[in-house]
Amino acid sequence: MAKISVIGSGGWGIALTILLHKNGHNLTIWSFDKKEVEELKATRENKTKLPNISLPDDIEVTDDLKEAVSDKDILVLAVPSKAIRSVSKSLKDIIKDNQIIVNVAKGLEEDTLKTMTDIIEEELKEKNPQVAVLSGPSHAEEVGKGIPTTCVVSAHNKELTLYLQNIFMNPSFRVYTSPDMIGVEIGGALKNVIALAAGIADGLNYGDNTKAALITRGIKEISSLGVAMGGEQSTFYGLTGLGDLIVKNGHCYGIILENMFDFLKENLLRVNSSPVEIIEIDESEIPQNEYQELNITLASLRLDSLVAELTNLSRTLGTNYIDLGNVQLNYEVEREKSTKIAVGDTIIIKKYGKFKIVEENGLTKKDKIKLIIRKYM
């Protein structure tokens, strides 16, 4: 049993609190609004944000942030995306070192375009938090009622990802894992733009052709941007990308990753007895990434040397970037600057993009190693 505090008492915060309580954990929920706290204590219900769904009596409710986070194994940040920075600042002096923090808010910061986990790590860097993200096609009221739902959890290391999968998952809440943290966040944030456009198309009485074009081209644009920012293309055709678009439109048609097929076949077909058709497509039908070919030279086949070259950062700043967990080697966060790189390796550099070493092409006259690199667009 873990001691968990959910920071934020909106619909999603309450739904996750109930879910985690059902999983056998010790729960506290926090709200900045004293009146809301009083209402929750008196009625065990947020009638405005999640009506007709009650909090169990043994869940603690508080408006004292220090009390809420004290001696907790996990903090779940369920505040609106616009409040992530201010809440993170408030946590700075009251959380423990290496605190596990799971962000469940979707979005990008308006002024900086930073992801929510970027903001959390930036504001709390002195505490070295272990930050993760939970995202996917999930409506709070359905999770609160125990209706079958799927999500994805992602963190900088596999051990934390698997730990959190076990914390959140139960028979009605299926949690998949992904090493692609930036892709999970970008997919969850940008799909809303396309979902709004699809809703507008419905309001204008446009037909299925228009909606299909919006979704098809929209997910292509999301995946292109996400890959350029360091995400993995397959992420945007999974639960945090296309899956979210599907639930927003009230239909279940699209692309399903192979490792999701059996679960969806067994469970999705029976949700509310609604007819759902799942069509398996060939991999060749998935849009392929465009890329730019780069010719670079390195003094040595070390990760820090490559990162400095690809980012135009100094060797020292490149090393710091690696230390902060901003670089993945073959889809695993790599913090060792001296790690050897080789042809075939995939390198994802947060905010700079995804790269693949295609070929080692001899030496220069000064004995530097010539490499051909693909930078995915």
For residue 111, the one-letter residue type is D
Least confident of 137-146, 183-192, 239-248: 239-248
- Give the CATH number for residue 357: 3.10.290.10
Closest CA to 32 of 103, 83, 74: 83
Looking at the structure, tell me whether residues 43 and 118 fall in a common domain: yes
Looking at residue 206, what is its pLDDT? Answer: 83
Contact of 318 with 351, CB cutoff 8 Å: no
Q: Degrees (nearest 5) of the Cα angle 161, 162, 165?
A: 90
Mean pLDDT for the stretch of residues 159-186 = 89
Total domains, the chain: 3
**Which of 285, 315, 338 corresponds to the end of one domain?**
285
- Give the CATH number for residue 264: 1.10.1040.10
Looking at residue 250, what is its pLDDT? Answer: 45
Looking at residue 79, what is its pLDDT? Answer: 94
Looking at the structure, tell me whether residues 275 and 312 fall in a common domain: no
Q: Which residue has the higher pLDDT, 286 or 159?
A: 159
Looking at the structure, tell me whether residues 92 and 238 fall in a common domain: no
Q: Is the pLDDT of residue 241 over 70?
A: no
Looking at the structure, tell me whether residues 320 and 201 fall in a common domain: no
Looking at the structure, tell me whether residues 22 and 107 fall in a common domain: yes
Looking at the structure, tell me whether residues 330 and 240 fall in a common domain: no
Termini Cα distance of the chain: 44
Q: Is the pLDDT of residue 277 over 50?
A: yes
Q: Is the pLDDT of residue 185 over 60?
A: yes
Looking at residue 209, what is its pLDDT? Answer: 76
Q: Is the pLDDT of residue 243 over 70?
A: no
Read off the pTM.
Answer: 0.65
Q: How far apart are CA 222 and CA 236, in angstroms?
A: 7
Looking at residue 238, what is its pLDDT? Answer: 52
Least confident of 32-36, 53-57, 252-256: 252-256
Write out the residue range of the structural domain in which residue 368 sits.
291-376
- Give the CATH number for residue 133: 3.40.50.720
Looking at the structure, tell me whether residues 131 and 11 fall in a common domain: yes
Looking at the structure, tell me whether residues 189 and 297 fall in a common domain: no
Q: How far apart are CA 141 and CA 131, in angstroms?
A: 26
Q: Is the pLDDT of residue 213 over 80?
A: no
Q: Does residue 49 come out as left (phi exceeding 0), alpha (psi in the -120 to 50 range) or beta?
A: alpha
Looking at the structure, tell me whether residues 126 and 15 fall in a common domain: yes
| Residue % of the chain over a pLDDT of 90 | 42
Residues classed as catalytic: 191
Q: How far apart are CA 28 and CA 47, in angstroms?
A: 19
Write down the mean pLDDT value for the chain. Answer: 83
Quick one: pLDDT band at residue 249, thresholds 50, 70, 90? very low
**Which of 179, 210, 239 corresponds to the end of one domain?**
179
Q: Is the pLDDT of residue 224 over 70?
A: yes
Sign of CA dihedral 12, 18, 24, 28: positive
pLDDT tens across 279-300, in order?
565 544 444 456 789 999 999 9
Looking at residue 254, what is its pLDDT? Answer: 44
pLDDT tens across 307-355, in order?
999 999 888 888 888 988 888 888 778 889 999 999 989 898 988 888 9
Q: Which residue has the higher pLDDT, 246 or 214?
A: 214
Q: How far apart are CA 10 and CA 47, in angstroms?
A: 10
* CB under 8 A, 24+ apart: contacts of 301-304: 301/340, 301/341, 301/342, 301/369, 302/337, 302/338, 302/339, 302/340, 302/341, 303/327, 303/329, 303/334, 303/336, 303/337, 303/338, 303/339, 303/340, 303/341, 303/347, 304/337, 304/338
Closest CA to 226 of 243, 211, 241: 241
Mean pLDDT for the stretch of residues 24-43 = 93
Least confident of 23-37, 96-110, 276-290: 276-290
Looking at the structure, tell me whether residues 124 and 197 fall in a common domain: no
Looking at the structure, tell me whether residues 277 and 323 fall in a common domain: no
Burial classification of residue 304, based on how many CB atoms lie within 10 Å of its CB (0-12 exposed, 13-18 middle, 19 or more buried): buried
Q: CB count, 10 Å around CB of 288?
A: 9
How do strand 130-135 and strand 100-103 relate by DSSP bridges? Answer: parallel
Spatial CB neighbours of 126, under 8 Å, sequence gap ≥ 6: 92
Three-state DSSP state, 249: helix
Looking at the structure, tell me whether residues 13 and 145 fall in a common domain: yes
Q: How far apart are CA 232 and CA 177, in angstroms?
A: 14
For residue 21, the one-letter residue type is H
- Residue that has been written with the tokens 């390796």 in this structure: 345
Looking at residue 248, what is its pLDDT? Answer: 38
Looking at residue 169, what is its pLDDT? Answer: 92
Looking at residue 283, what is its pLDDT? Answer: 44
Q: Is the pLDDT of residue 255 over 50?
A: no
**Which of 158, 179, 200 corresponds to the end of one domain?**
179
